[in-house]
Structures are given as structure tokens and as C-alpha cells.
Structure 1
Amino acid sequence: MEVDLALVGFGGAAALTLIELAKAAVPDLRVATVDPAGLLDHGKRRTWAFWTGAVDDLDPVLDAQWPAVDLHGPSGVRRLDLSPGRYAMVRSEPIFAQALQAADRLGSVTIRASAAALVDDGSSVEIRDESGTAVAAARWVLDSRPARPVKPGHTFWLQHFRGWWVRSEAALFDPASAVLMDFRTPQPARGVSFGYVLPTSAHTALIEYTEFSPARLSDDAYDTALTAYMRLWNLNDLAIEEVEDGAIPMTDGVFERRPSARVVRIGTAGGATRPSTGYTFSAMRRQAREIAELIRTGRDPVPSAAYPRRHLWMDAVALHAWDSGLVAAPEFFERLFQRNPAERVLRFLDGRTTPAEEFSLMASTPLLPMMRAAARVTV
């Protein structure tokens, strides 16, 4: 089977790309997806949170949105007004449902196979399964499968978490506001922990315990941390309807975004994950839109870097500062939000600020420890 574009691995990045390709309506575009599970959500529901403006294409399927969020830092709680933006949350089911509809409109072919090898001869890519059999040939491959950094960085952490979707009989939650970071959780010896409270109604919420640290915890440790965090809020007798957990790399290691001439990585493997926060969803959307526009205008589907190089350097400095104990992450984030407009901080975390704005942001952090970390990372 010969196609113009093959999406290898079917997760959030591939789903968003299919959606944008269908919107672009490129005539006679031949598309295939290659994944052992086909066009499925792999049986694992996920939640994506992101910052957005007053209007968003995903508004009809959002689970919740908040014009303000609370940050519980070392010196107390701070309400962050996000206007004119919002903090929004969407679950994976409607995204994958839209991707299925997009695949139908595109006439995309589903190939249920593992792509064990991608053989790129410079003009096309042969996709071979585990037996060595060619299952497709594509002019371009977009590969969203996990990949290791080709060059290690100074720091390799994970953003790892467990969340409970809970329901209460009483109206316990304020659906107009979310808790973005609550650093009142016990802090690990190496790393940082915090809680989230993301209400979807007065009776339902996602309550999450998150760590930035080198390794995941045991199941019992996550459950113990979540139970303790709920006690902090005096949340008792809640029904746990669903459990959600995962791990996202946080590293200044270098990922190979284009491993061969016609193979392009997208999603986390393609640099969409912000090293200092683990946020990925907004960058995946940008990649998907850019790929669709490149194809629509007859150009190669090679998206630009998800984040400016200067941002990646600043992330490397921050990660090293936290990991080495030069700067405590709770104080770092608190100062960032205390001394800057929330809207500017959120644009920075999303990779959309100017150098002048970034100078002001960095000036609000503990300068001497950050300079020491910068010297070590530069060396």
C-alpha cells in the first residue's frame, strides 16, 4: 500500500493531526495510520489541561474551564485572574471521536500492525512489521511513539501523577475556580510535589497528586498521598469513580525530531513536552495545525520546533536548579506568579513570550542560585 502520509502510533498527537488534516481538506491526500490497536484510545482515558483564549475550537467538548485559578505557595494562597484567557480541561474521548470522524472524511486507511522498522531511502519510507513484512510505503511518516533522547541532558525527571475523579452528595466544589498548584503537600527529598483540584461541577472534580522527581512511586504511595491531600481539604466520604495516572518526561536531553529524511517525530518525541512543566497538549495542537497547513500549501510536513531554543535553555537551568537543591521549586513558582502578570507567566510556560518579557520573568526568580545553575548547565 502506498500513501502520501502515514501516522505511526495513535495517541493524542496523531489524533489532533488527523483532525487538522480533515479541516485542511487537501484533495486526493492518501493517509494511513499504523498502530497495533488501530484507531482506538488504547483503553486508557486521559485528561488534558491547557491555557487558551476567550474562544477555542474545543469549546463544545470541554469538560471544564476556569477564568481564575488558585496557587497555594509557601507564603499562602494567591488567586490568579487569567482573563482574557482561561484554564481549560478536555478528556480524551471527544478528541478521539473527532479523530475517527476525521479519518472517515479523509478516507484514511487503518493498518493494525506494529511498525518495527521504518526504512527510509530518501524518497519514501517502507514501514515493516515485526516479521519484517512491509505493510505500507509512505512519502512521509509522522511518528508519535515514545522515544529516548539521543543526547542525555543534565537532568532527567518525570512528571508523574495519580488523579481521582470524585463525586460528592453535597455541593463541595466551586466550578468557577480551580486549584492549579497546591504546594502544601509533603515535599520529597529530591523533587517537588503538589496537588490539583479541578472541579467540573459543584459535585464532581478531578483531584490529583503530582510529583516532579526522578522516579515514579508505588501504587500505595500515590493513594496515601492522595488520601492525605483530600484530608487537607476536609474532603471526606467522596465516591471515587475513576483513577487516572501517568508519567511524562521532564528533561533537557535532546530528542531527535527528524531521525531520517522523511520520518518526522511529533508529540513528546517531537519536542512537544515543555521540560520544566510537562505540559504538552498546546504544543501538540500547534504541531498538528502547522503540519496540516504545510501539506495544504504543498510543502514538506516538517513542523518548526515546539519551543524556542532560549526557552529550552531556561528550562535546563530551572531543572538543574531544582534537582541540585539550589532553588526550591515551590518558591520558584510562587515568585514567578507573585511578581508577574499571570497571563505573561502562562504564555511563557506555553512558549509564546518575547525576550523582553522573559528578562522580566527571570529577574523575578532567585538570581544568584539561578546564575550558579546557569553556569553549570552552560559548562
Structure 2
Amino acid sequence: MITDVDIALVGGGGAASLVLAALGRAGVDGLRVAIVDPVHKRGQDRTWAFWGEPGTFLDPLLSASWDEVDVVTPARRRVLRLAPLRYAMLRSAPLYELAAEAEKRLDAVRVTAPAGAVQDDGERVTVTGPDGVPLVRAGWVLDSRPRKPERPGLTTWLQHFRGWWLEADRATFEPGRAVLMDFRTPQPERGISFGYVLPVSDRFALIEYTEFSPATLSGDAYDEALRAYAGLLGLDLRALRVREVEDGVIPMTDGPFVSRPSPRVVRLGTAGGATRPSTGYTFSAMARQADDIARALADGRPPVPAPPYPARHLWMDAVQLRALDRGLTDGVAFFDRLFDRNPADRVLRFLDGTTTWREDLMLMASSPTLPMTRAAFEHAVHRVRR
């Protein structure tokens, strides 16, 4: 017999886990919930790094947090003091455990099967399996499965990376400060590369090599880049153990993601536009979506979150991506200038989508005027042709 619920979460990763946790905190009573996913997420399968003010429900779940970070270029090392914000690292296992606790309190139904089509008749939504057999019928569906933009953008890049969790037998890392971006890595012909370091303790840290560029690398190329970056940091890999490896590919595009494809279907996470086009950052926007949904349901309103980012920020991102893709501005110089001419918290709040109009104008004024103007013109022409 088909399961009938109020809310069906299609996909059980980070976005769905944040929604479950938010529902648990909101104390929504009598809500019938189902989760449709072929895998019940557990353990450490990924790491999220994000910034925000301390004092949230996430604090007990964090592996580490930092009040200051380094941004490094070949010319200088800049120390950014982030107050009133902080930079934080959350590994997936504690969030999955919190979501499992909320799932149990809500008496949610788990359908351990892949979802296929989502059919919305305007009053109820039916989620079928790949074979077309109905799995769940719901009043609302929150779908966090990855998908491509509705149509291609003018610019499509990727944030792609590999990270090593390194363990040492003696004090090796500086746990009091993280490296946010280290641009001393060799720069690709088309794109930007950087390394970063997230230390959990003086003997355990994540070091990662990241590129913003149109295409991914081979696995050997990531490993080679990581070995080179470890050398830049003065690490002797012979004295360290690689405990875990993390890989990822995140879209960076000005192509539009449709967050509400039908009246009772809402998309979350990257599919719902939570990934910032200019950087690939996603976590903070997913958390806002989850909080919006929980508040709406607690108030008896439809579970429709606010747009993850203001329209003007998406336009600014599109212009930046165009300028980088066309080689109109140097990527390392762009980010160096951005942090040099703005307080760190303004830049980070912009990347989170929470700056004001006035702050956005100040950020635009700090960017290279002629290249960005040309990129804005090309983007406008593209939009008109579309």
C-alpha cells in the first residue's frame, strides 16, 4: 500500500538532514513525514566549511572553528580577523545523527528506494520509483536530488577538489587558525587554484587542493597537486598518515535553477539554487532553506523557503564568472583585491548572500572597473539574445 504523508523528503543528504533537524527544533506536532532515498546516510562521507555567527544549534556538532583565517598569495600572507563571524567545520556524521534523532521523534517513514518521477496534480504529489510504481503520496515534496540548471548559462565552471585528512604523531598543525585560500599553488591556464588547511588539532588536519575551472582533473593530478601543496606548507608526508580522502565536484554557473517546478514541489540544495555561482559554497543557504521550511510548517504555512540569494547577487556572480572565464581579470588578483579593500566580514557575508545594497555597491567599487564593466555588457547582450 502506498505511504500517504504531509511532507516527503526526496533525497536524504545534507539538505534533507538540515530540514529534519530544523523540524525537530521547531517542535512541529502531528506532521507525517517520509524520507525517500536508497541509502540511509551515516558516518563521515563529507565535510562542510562555512562561516556565520556563533551560538547556533550547530555549535555542539562542529569539529573545529576559527576566529581568524589566512588568505595567502605569492606576495603576502593576510590574516583575516572574522569577528563577529567565525569560520567553522562540520563533518557529516554529527548532522546525520541529529537528523536521525529528529526522524525518530517525528515517527517518520523511511522508504529505502530510489525515487523516479515526481507527479504533482496540484493537490497531492506522487513519488514513483524508476519503474513507475508509486512509493509515496504527499501534500508537499521537498526534492534535494542533484540536477542540472533549467538551461545552460553563459558560463559554466566547476569547483572541484580533493582533500587528505592527515594525522601526525607529534604537533604539526596550528589549530588556532585555518587557511581559507592559499593561492601559491600553480595556476591553471583557464581558472583559479588554491589550497587550504582546516586543522582540528595540532596532529590532525584536512588539507585540500581546489580548482575553479571548466573541467575536472584526473585522480593522479589531484594527488600530485596535493603533494606539491603539502611541500609548500613544509609538511613531510613520510611522517604523516592519510586517514581519509574527500573528493567533490560542485557546479559554478549562471544557468538558472528552478526552485519550485510545480505548485507542491520545492527543490532544495544545489537543485534549489543554494550553491553560490561565484564560489560553489552551499551549506549556509541550505541551512536557511531548512529553517524557513520548519518555521512555515510550524505556523501552518506552505513549506516554501525564501530565495537562497538576492537577484542582484546572482547578477554580480554571473558578471564575475564571465570576467574570469574570458580572462578579463586575473582570478588571484581579483580575490586578493576583494579582501584587501573590504573588511573580511563584509566579503564573507556577501558570499553568504546577506549584505545590504550599500555594501554591495562598496564591493563592486573595489573590483577592477573596466574588466567587470565589459563582462557586464557581454552578459547583458547574452540575456537579450536569449
Normalising by structure 2, what TM-score? 0.96
Per the TM alignment, residue 12 of structure 1 is displaced from its structure 2 partner at its CA by: 0.1
Q: Deviation digits for residues 68-108 of structure 1, max 9, x if unmatched?
A: 00001243110000012110001000000000000000010
Contact 2:8 2:140 in 1 (8 A): yes
Q: Which moved more, 1:80-89 or 1:305-314?
A: 80-89
Structure 2 residue aligned with 1:353, among 352, 355, 380? 355
Q: Deviation digits for residues 145-173 of structure 1, max 9, x if unmatched?
A: 00111121111111000000001223121
Whether 2:323 is the aligned partner of 1:321: answer: yes
Per the TM alignment, residue 300 of structure 1 is displaced from its structure 2 partner at its CA by: 0.8
Whether 2:114 is the aligned partner of 1:118: answer: no
Distance in 2 (alpha carbons) for counterparts of 1:44 and 1:371:
43
Question: Which residue matches 1:373?
Answer: 375
What does 1:218-229 correspond to in 2, within 5 Å?
218-229=218-229
Question: Which residue matches 2:41?
Answer: 40
Distance in 1 (alpha carbons) for counterparts of 2:190 and 2:235:
28
Contact 1:191 1:213 in 2 (8 A): yes
Mind listing any 5+ residue stretches in structure 2 that lack a counterpart? 382-386
Question: Which residue matches 1:276?
Answer: 278
Distance in 2 (alpha carbons) for counterparts of 1:6 and 1:277:
30
Distance in 1 (alpha carbons) for counterparts of 2:17 and 2:307:
19
Q: Deviation digits for residues 115-147 of structure 1, max 9, x if unmatched?
A: 111111110001111221111100000000001
Question: Which residue matches 1:98?
Answer: 98
Q: SS at the partner of 2:359?
A: helix
Distance in 2 (alpha carbons) for counterparts of 1:52 and 1:148:
28
Distance in 1 (alpha carbons) for counterparts of 2:198 and 2:246:
13
Q: Which moved more, 1:286-295 or 1:67-76?
A: 67-76
Per the TM alignment, residue 260 of structure 1 is displaced from its structure 2 partner at its CA by: 1.2
Question: Which residue matches 1:312?
Answer: 314
Distance in 2 (alpha carbons) for counterparts of 1:126 and 1:351:
33
What does 1:199-210 correspond to in 2, within 5 Å?
199-210=199-210
Distance in 2 (alpha carbons) for counterparts of 1:76 and 1:105:
51
Q: SS at the partner of 2:201?
A: coil
Distance in 2 (alpha carbons) for counterparts of 1:58 and 1:246:
23
Contact 1:74 1:330 in 2 (8 A): no
Amino acid in structure 2 at the alignment position of 1:256? V
Distance in 2 (alpha carbons) for counterparts of 1:240 and 1:348:
34
Distance in 2 (alpha carbons) for counterparts of 1:304 and 1:60:
27
Q: SS at the partner of 1:149?
A: coil
Mind listing any 5+ residue stretches in structure 1 that lack a counterpart? none
What does 1:46-65 correspond to in 2, within 5 Å?
46-65=46-65
Identity of aligned residues (%): 60
Distance in 1 (alpha carbons) for counterparts of 2:108 and 2:54:
33
Question: Which residue matches 1:293?
Answer: 295
Contact 1:169 1:203 in 2 (8 A): yes
Question: Which residue matches 1:8?
Answer: 10
Q: SS at the partner of 1:200?
A: strand
**Runs of 4+ displaced beyond 2 Å:** none
> Aligned Cα RMSD in Å?
1.0
Per the TM alignment, residue 238 of structure 1 is displaced from its structure 2 partner at its CA by: 1.4
Distance in 1 (alpha carbons) for counterparts of 2:169 and 2:37:
42
Per the TM alignment, residue 109 of structure 1 is displaced from its structure 2 partner at its CA by: 0.2
Distance in 1 (alpha carbons) for counterparts of 2:375 and 2:75:
24
Question: Which residue matches 1:331?
Answer: 333
Q: SS at the partner of 1:246?
A: strand
Amino acid in structure 1 at the alignment position of 2:41? L
Question: What is the count of residue pairs matched by the alignment?
Answer: 377
Contact 1:183 1:193 in 2 (8 A): yes
What does 1:161-240 correspond to in 2, within 5 Å?
161-236=161-236, 237-240=239-242
Question: Which residue matches 1:69?
Answer: 69
Normalising by structure 1, what TM-score? 0.98
Distance in 2 (alpha carbons) for counterparts of 1:296 and 1:83:
32
Contact 1:266 1:272 in 2 (8 A): yes
Amino acid in structure 2 at the alignment position of 1:252? D
Contact 1:74 1:331 in 2 (8 A): no
